[in-house]
Amino acid sequence: MTDLATTAAVQEFLYREARLLDAKNWDAWLDLFTDDAVFWVPAVTMTGEHTTDAENSLNFIYIAGRAGLEARAFRVATGSSLASNPLPRTRHLVATVMVDADGPDELRAFANAQTVAFCEARGQQILTSSYEYALRRQDGTFRIAQKKILLLEYVIDGYFDFFTI
């Protein structure tokens, strides 16, 4: 069982990530990731299961390495991403934060999430998911080594990007 201080630290870290996304503070959000981080949103198979092999399966989003996340955030910030233009306002609701495994250098965490995105041109979109994290301990805090987002919906009516899920 994980101690309460570790669980509270993980909760605060995940809440901070959500707040940074809602504030569109891309640089501070990117600082939460390790250089070798993986950001993965698996697709859903015909049997209703999420894909399990990021390298050899279809994915909604798969970005390996912080440099890929930086490039994506740059396109969003500069308006050159058609999927994110106009840029919606978002609210991330993060709940049920749990530490699944706690090692000396890395821990595994889980959370449920719901994200509401709204812009005048596209209206409102609500996506529900669970997050699975690999968090590394670095310099007295955590860094995201992997964020896997399992969408509840597998038919998406609209668009989404890294900051709307």
Task: Name the most confidently modeled range: 29-38, 47-56, 148-157.
Answer: 29-38
Give the C-alpha separation, 165 to 39, whole Å. 12
More confident position, 145 or 161? 145
pLDDT of residue 1: 61
pLDDT of residue 7: 94
Going by C-beta distance under 8 Å and a sequence separation of 6 or more, which residues neighbour residue 126?
A: 114, 115, 116, 117
Q: Smallest Cα–Cα separation from 105: which of 157, 60, 142?
A: 142
Encode pLDDT of 75-121 as tens digits.
999 888 777 778 899 999 999 999 998 899 999 999 999 999 998 88
Domains defined for the chain, CATH in brackets: 4-151 (3.10.450.50)
